[in-house]
Each structure stands twice: as structure tokens, then as C-alpha cells.
Amino acid sequence: MYLLIKKIFFAASINIFFLLVIFIVIQNSASKSKVNFIIGETIELPTSFIFGSSLISGSFLGTFLPFFFKRY
């Protein structure tokens, strides 16, 4: 149980750090685009933020994959 909490905390702290770095880097980004969902679309966001946030969310969710496919 301790190892599980340690891995989740480590993944969350690394991904929060990456998110803060993305916020600092994209302040001067001029290219903006919208994300189209089934229901509607988002406001115009910097393209680098869209790519970076999808990378970070994939990294965080990928942390949980070994727990779901654990062999007994």
C-alpha cells in the first residue's frame, strides 16, 4: 500500500512540475486553436498547451496501467 501511494505521489508531483513549466514556456505563444468535442468546442487555446496537457494527462493515466494489469 505504501508503494502505491509513493508511486502516485511521485507521478502527480512530476506532472504538476511539467504543467508549471508548460505555463511558463507558452506565455509568448501566438498560434492558437480550438478543440472540437462532440457537444461543443473550447475557447482558443495555445497549441502548445493542448499538446502539453494531453502529454501530461497521458503520462499521469499511464502510471495506473501497471496496477490494472497486475498478474496474480
pLDDT at 62: 83
Global model pTM greater than 0.75: no
pLDDT at 71: 61
Grid cell, residue 70, equals 497486475
The three-point CA angle 41-53-21 to 5° equals 135
pLDDT at 24: 86
User: Across residues 1-15, what is the average pLDDT?
Assistant: 83
Q: Check whether 2 has a pLDDT greater than 60.
A: yes
**For residue range 14-67, what is the model confidence (pLDDT) as tens digits?**
888 988 888 888 887 777 888 888 888 888 888 888 888 888 888 888 887 777
